Amino acid sequence: MKKTYSLLIVLVLSCFAWNTFAQDGKIYPLDAPKEPNAIPLGTGSVKDQPAPETWFRQWGDPMARNISQATLTPFFPEKGKANGAAVIVAPGGGYRWLSMGNEGWEVAEALAKKGITAFVLKYRLFPTAPSLDDFTEWMNRPRPAPTKSDDASKTNAPAPMAQMDLSNQLADAEAAYAMIIKNANEWGVDIKRIGMIGFSAGAGLTMHATLNSKTMTLAFIGPIYGGMGPVKVPANAPPMFNVIASDDFLFNAQFGVIDSWFKAGRPVEFHLYQNGGHGFGLGNPNRTSNRWFDAFTHWLDVNKFLLAK
């Protein structure tokens, strides 16, 4: 029997409540919210994990760290509005925390309103300090400023994250995809129209899955403010919708991944926005990047991914 997944109304309302205060960059402790619709993926734990999963809030948004058990949370469109398309949503956070509200639940809810069944992937992370104070100190550590080069080709090297061992994260993405395939009839999903969208590190995971998975056949991908270095594009690579702002530290005048997709003859749409910075999710006040979601759903529509069958 199909369970009644309610778009986590209580959870989302809680996010709105959190957003009414603590909208600064300071890290605040947060009790783990209830996730009644989260489905365990059963992909295992994290080796040498020193602490249990804990939550905090920053900029008013709920975040999770030390995730050692992956889950998938469905967000279904209202009855009669589903078009059969599905999207796996991968929040970002440097593979050490996940921005569950800004880059997860809020995006999934917006997709569901467009008739798209969305699935928020809470994937396993690299361990961080058990103490929130120690984690905060690590988060606030001095970082070198991004280097710039007049020769863009010199900066088009893969980001350091690309060299990380993402086997756990890839296994979680593959398990999420397999679960959607298994339940496609019950959940009203067209298995030929399953895509993946990710933010920052989630964009990196989306790209990693696209380039390395042997079990996922994604219909489309949407890396949002992810690494821009060049990649080796598979012959059957899915159409890509790519977004970044020019004032994002990950941009740094790089167009490598766009150039790679274009030279491979695969469909690609690229939006370079004047401003938005990094981590803007669905949008921040008075930024040109705020219309990216409208452009994304329009792109899906024009490419017939939203055509109900």
Contact criterion met (CB below 8 Å) for 198 and 223: yes
Compute the distance between CA of residue 220 and CA of residue 137 in angstroms, rounded to an integer: 38
Q: How far is CA 75 from the centre of its chain?
A: 15
| Predicted local confidence at residue 147, as pLDDT | 56
Residue 33, both tokens: 């919210």
Residue of 22 and 265 predicted with greater confidence: 265
One CATH from 3.40.50.1820, 3.40.50.2000, 3.40.50.620, 3.40.50.920 for 9-140+155-302: 3.40.50.1820
74-132 pLDDT, tens digit per residue, is 999 999 999 999 999 999 999 999 999 999 999 999 999 999 999 999 999 999 999 99
**CA distance readout (Å), 30 to 18, 22, 90, 101, 186:** 10, 12, 21, 13, 35
Q: Is pLDDT of 192 > 90? A: yes
Q: What is the pLDDT of residue 17?
A: 38
Give the separation between CA 10 and CA 145, rounded to whole angstroms.
40
Rounded average pLDDT over 252-280: 97
Q: Are strands 97-99 and 39-40 parallel, antiparallel or unpaired?
A: unpaired
| pLDDT for 293 | 98
Look-up of token digits 């994260």: 169
pLDDT digits (tens, 9 = 90+) for 145-181: 655 543 333 333 334 445 789 999 999 999 999 999 9
In whole angstroms, give the CA distance from residue 281 to residue 103. Answer: 5
Q: What is the DSSP letter of 191?
A: G
pLDDT of residue 107: 98
Looking at the DSSP assignment, which residues form a beta bridge with residue 240?
A: 221, 268
